[in-house]
Structure 1
């Protein structure tokens, strides 16, 4: 069954009910979303014997229509079905009603196979696959399904069958290839975390880095400023909120159905989760936490669960038991993950419902940090460890270099369709998840200066103005991520620009191997208006062209990484105050591509 797009018409009750008596004619035109005439559209009424087909001008005529209320439907292959309601009052004195309809091109398909985990992965027939309340299909004997005549956009696809846990999957526009998106699902698996089975967790977001910061308050600017804290780009389940104090896990409590949920100290009510490679360099996890509205008699109940998907029968293992907290000031709580050294596991941090009924608690996460050893009560410092030789003051440690996970993505954007500011950044940050945004996928190190998050030209990092200290060895800010360098992914292109014709931007690309060897890289080619080598491996450039409407006008800096083939390499991109001037200098991230 096709979904129907209704074209609304505003009428009063009198407009609907008054009109001439007898039979009349409905005439009109049909266009596509670009207002071009649409031929070959089948036009039908709820008086099923009356139909017509639009001509090359998109025009149609329906004769002998009883004068009254009718739903006129418009259908054509590869277009979303539309409808228009005609009321008696729409008929004029000549008994003619004139209408217009618009149809959206919708030739995309979602297809796949549903299998039964209870039956060894056999096809599962009779499962209902839905994308909306009015649009669903049922899997066949071979477990296959197909939903067609769709516009290409984001969907939430739900799979349901009696006796099985329902499964929902988010399907983004980027999953459509030549108009078709393939989504295969296994049903019947045991829930390991609330609402998530092994099949769900296999594709969990990866926690590539060893520090995640949340909240708006700049307790230690710029490290802890809102523009530098991106914990809310992680994957959460349940009820949660970005607050001044941190990213906050909450008990679901907004409806009677939620309040009727039973107390449960084994399954999280709300949680954040991701997949993390645990090594001796990062097997101590420290959470900086606080609460709201908790007390000695009514603390928050929370914990950490680990799921080892490589186990014969994976399960959620609670680390250190159920914890309680009632502190308004931030405190550190430490969790030993050394039992999982050498394994990539799912880590979930969550809040438990301790009571049924009207029960409301919040656990505020200010930071999630992974280190080799205990950091004690230290709340605001950079990650401790052995500094990388040659990067004095960078706050980059050998433990970070070795234990950062190689990235699975190769292309990143700095563009954001949703803007924001300190008080309204959440929707923009969440959009980054779907766009492979650099700030959600690389780790940002604001050593001396915060970034500009939402400029239309792309995310940008910058230097201080005024009398900022000049240095070509210590960056004001930088990004880093690790990549497995190999044929087909050993050529990095930075698409960028700056904003001054007189003060060049100084930046540096640095590669660090896992043994601590570092090399400052020079581009093998660039398209900047002015670019040249500067001191200490920096490059300086001027290029003021490029914006959302002119993506080809940005400068491109291309780097050859083939000398690192076969190695995992940390790549850093930093901005430097390379010379004294009164301005901030800026480095735009339009895109980063590894190919």
Structure 2
């Protein structure tokens, strides 16, 4: 009997030991593998140490749900079941500046971590409305109103916005929206009235130049080059011949006309326009473009004369600059308003040194000095940019990139890179030599703008021979019928600058010529440091083509026309050696054979892809 009782006792003890071991094993596993939780507690006070109630306390951990509690009347809070890892603790309350602290595992002592905070009263606000001036002053929705990172709001359908929970301090408020000029407003502590700053913002802007807002000017044409000539008088052939002067392909506002004397800005004076008030601050008519100003081109020279003006009743004109990078772009006069009343040409200069390093809008215009029948004309014969004043009808000053080319290195360096990569030589409108200078030519030249015509987008330099402007096969540059053979200095050429990069480093030139003679041409690359490279095509589809002297190609190809674009010969050039560089590309025609007539180079198209 005792043996049986002993065995029962032994069995019970063994069973109890097994249970104890099992439980101990489970607890050990939990300690090693399961999360360990604790408590985060603290007090929230103001700058004077007084408790703040109803503060929302948000405890966030990586890949964990937020734990959210609220402070009591005494400013205290307690958050339980917080894992013993790193947490961001954020304190927010309307009218107070949000603050955050960090809690990590080391801050938990006996399972409790303290995270207290002091908050700054932030009951100030910046509120307001944004309206769209260019659409009748209607509310502008979707404007981003920003004080910096993580502090953006957006205007609603009513144009209103509100930025709350601010302290009274200095702020920069930025208003941005696609296709609108960004507006920036500076806020100081003095701007707050009872803790509120109210802003009424106009986007779409008011006129900066007559008829144009800053937004309009953002899409202004580029004035890439250092020389623009107007008019048709061949007073220094071929440099100043009618076929070489394309100033009237620029952008104009108001009343203008291409005349034999030059491209002419005129006072608007028809009918009710005579009631327009005098305004010596805002141009009545003007031409404008966007230009990068450098040390090489900071002096702008105008060659001008006037019509309907004399010493007793002169014309008033000037130059204004708009810097679109300014918070509030405005037209700023360069120097004083100038007066001219002579039919003789003169050269005047304007110093743009204040804008070196900036791309700005340059406007040249004429002012209405009197109300009533006031009829004045300012004739622009030339607009030229250099590091010095330019006078007369000669070439731009400076050391030449290539001897005899009349292309100074200052012009090479300051030429702006093209924003287009495809160009045509086909004119949408034709105009013969017998068409009036004031009718046919301006319309034809202006039509070039819509098709990226090579003569409007590239700069034409007529060293020895004028071009054929409007033939149906394309824009034609050509040689003289002369015994002077020269494969180093072209008869004439066009140039532009490209930022060469992968995807835009293969140039394709589509061309043809006429008759039985060869046409000699060359593509030359000039880098900003003066390095000159004659580029040889890697392929061509001409009927006959071969390399000639000094990097020229000579070819014959009689196919191609406006209705037969597939018929032209293509010459393909690899420009990848210039990747990452700004390079001026020159296309010139050369007199490679003596006494062979006007050998013509037809420019059908040029593509950089």
Please, what TM-score do these two structures have when normalized by structure 2? 0.67
The superposition leaves residues 334-364 of structure 1 with CA deviations (integer Å, 9 ceiling, x where unpaired) of 1000111111011000000000011100000
Paired positions, count:
423
For the pair 1:189 / 2:202, whether they are aligned, the reply is no
Q: After alignment, is 503-512 or 119-128 more displaced?
A: 119-128
CA–CA separation in structure 2 for the residues paired with 1:240 and 1:126: 28
1:491–1:560 CA contact under 8 A, matched in 2: yes
Post-superposition offset of 1:261: 0.5
Q: Aligned pair in 2 of structure 1 residues 324, 528: CA closer, same or farther (>3 Å)?
A: same
CA–CA separation in structure 2 for the residues paired with 1:492 and 1:120: 50
The superposition leaves residues 118-159 of structure 1 with CA deviations (integer Å, 9 ceiling, x where unpaired) of 97767799869xxxxxxxxxx999699xxxxxxxxxxxxxxx
User: What SS does the corresponding residue of 1:426 show, helix, strand or coil?
Assistant: helix
Counterpart in 1 of 2:366?
A: 351
User: What SS does the corresponding residue of 1:432 show, helix, strand or coil?
Assistant: helix
User: Residue 244 of structure 2: which of 228, 252, 258 is its match?
Assistant: 228
Post-superposition offset of 1:374: 2.3
CA–CA separation in structure 2 for the residues paired with 1:202 and 1:218: 36
The superposition leaves residues 410-451 of structure 1 with CA deviations (integer Å, 9 ceiling, x where unpaired) of 000000121102433221101001110000000000000000
Counterpart in 2 of 1:495?
A: 510
2:490–2:591 CA contact under 8 A, matched in 1: yes
2:257–2:264 CA contact under 8 A, matched in 1: yes
Post-superposition offset of 1:255: 1.6
User: Residue 215 of structure 2: which of 178, 199, 218 is its match?
Assistant: 199
For the pair 1:252 / 2:265, whether they are aligned, the reply is no
Post-superposition offset of 1:326: 0.6
Post-superposition offset of 1:575: 0.1
Post-superposition offset of 1:228: 0.2
User: Residue 392 of structure 2: which of 348, 370, 379 is its match?
Assistant: 379
Post-superposition offset of 1:327: 1.4
Q: Aligned pair in 2 of structure 1 residues 541, 120: CA closer, same or farther (>3 Å)?
A: farther
User: What SS does the corresponding residue of 1:290 show, helix, strand or coil?
Assistant: strand
Counterpart in 1 of 2:488?
A: 473
For the pair 1:448 / 2:464, whether they are aligned, the reply is yes
CA–CA separation in structure 2 for the residues paired with 1:486 and 1:226: 37
CA–CA separation in structure 2 for the residues paired with 1:580 and 1:554: 26
User: Residue 430 of structure 2: which of 404, 411, 419 is its match?
Assistant: 419
2:286–2:366 CA contact under 8 A, matched in 1: yes
1:447–1:475 CA contact under 8 A, matched in 2: yes
Counterpart in 2 of 1:402?
A: 413
CA–CA separation in structure 1 for the residues paired with 2:378 and 2:218: 27
CA–CA separation in structure 1 for the residues paired with 2:299 and 2:286: 20
User: Residue 579 of structure 1: which of 593, 597, 605 is its match?
Assistant: 593
Post-superposition offset of 1:309: 1.1
User: Residue 311 of structure 2: which of 278, 288, 296 is its match?
Assistant: 296
CA–CA separation in structure 1 for the residues paired with 2:281 and 2:539: 56
User: Residue 450 of structure 2: which of 409, 434, 442 is its match?
Assistant: 434
2:517–2:596 CA contact under 8 A, matched in 1: no
The superposition leaves residues 41-94 of structure 1 with CA deviations (integer Å, 9 ceiling, x where unpaired) of xxxxxxxxxxxxxxxxxxxxxxxxxxxxxxxxxxxxxxxxxxxxxxxxxxxxxx
Larger radius of gyration: 2
User: What SS does the corresponding residue of 2:378 show, helix, strand or coil?
Assistant: strand
The superposition leaves residues 233-274 of structure 1 with CA deviations (integer Å, 9 ceiling, x where unpaired) of 000000000000000000001122x11110000000000000
1:503–1:585 CA contact under 8 A, matched in 2: yes
CA–CA separation in structure 2 for the residues paired with 1:301 and 1:126: 33
1:125–1:142 CA contact under 8 A, matched in 2: no
CA–CA separation in structure 2 for the residues paired with 1:419 and 1:405: 29
For the pair 1:214 / 2:225, whether they are aligned, the reply is no
Counterpart in 2 of 1:272?
A: 287
Please show how residues 34-183 of structure 1 align to structure 2 within 5 Å: none
2:317–2:338 CA contact under 8 A, matched in 1: yes
Q: Aligned pair in 2 of structure 1 residues 550, 264: CA closer, same or farther (>3 Å)?
A: same
Q: Aligned pair in 2 of structure 1 residues 353, 141: CA closer, same or farther (>3 Å)?
A: closer
Counterpart in 1 of 2:343?
A: 328
CA–CA separation in structure 2 for the residues paired with 1:303 and 1:386: 30
Counterpart in 2 of 1:483?
A: 498
Post-superposition offset of 1:296: 1.2
Could you tell me which runs of 5 or more consecutive residues in structure 1 were left unpaired when the two chains were aligned. Answer: 1-117, 129-138, 145-182
Post-superposition offset of 1:582: 3.2
CA–CA separation in structure 2 for the residues paired with 1:311 and 1:141: 22
User: Residue 458 of structure 1: which of 468, 474, 481 is its match?
Assistant: 474
Please show how residues 549-568 of structure 1 align to structure 2 within 5 Å: 549-568=563-582
For the pair 1:520 / 2:531, whether they are aligned, the reply is no
1:259–1:356 CA contact under 8 A, matched in 2: yes
1:481–1:570 CA contact under 8 A, matched in 2: yes
The superposition leaves residues 319-338 of structure 1 with CA deviations (integer Å, 9 ceiling, x where unpaired) of 11111001111000110001
Counterpart in 2 of 1:392?
A: 403
Counterpart in 2 of 1:307?
A: 322
Counterpart in 1 of 2:355?
A: 340
Post-superposition offset of 1:313: 1.9
> Whose helix fraction is larger, Structure 1's or Structure 2's?
2
Counterpart in 1 of 2:606?
A: 592
Post-superposition offset of 1:581: 3.0
Q: After alignment, is 544-553 or 184-193 more displaced?
A: 184-193
Q: Aligned pair in 2 of structure 1 residues 295, 523: CA closer, same or farther (>3 Å)?
A: same
CA–CA separation in structure 1 for the residues paired with 2:485 and 2:330: 53
1:125–1:140 CA contact under 8 A, matched in 2: no
Could you tell me which runs of 5 or more consecutive residues in structure 2 were left unpaired when the two chains were aligned. Answer: 1-126, 144-177, 182-202
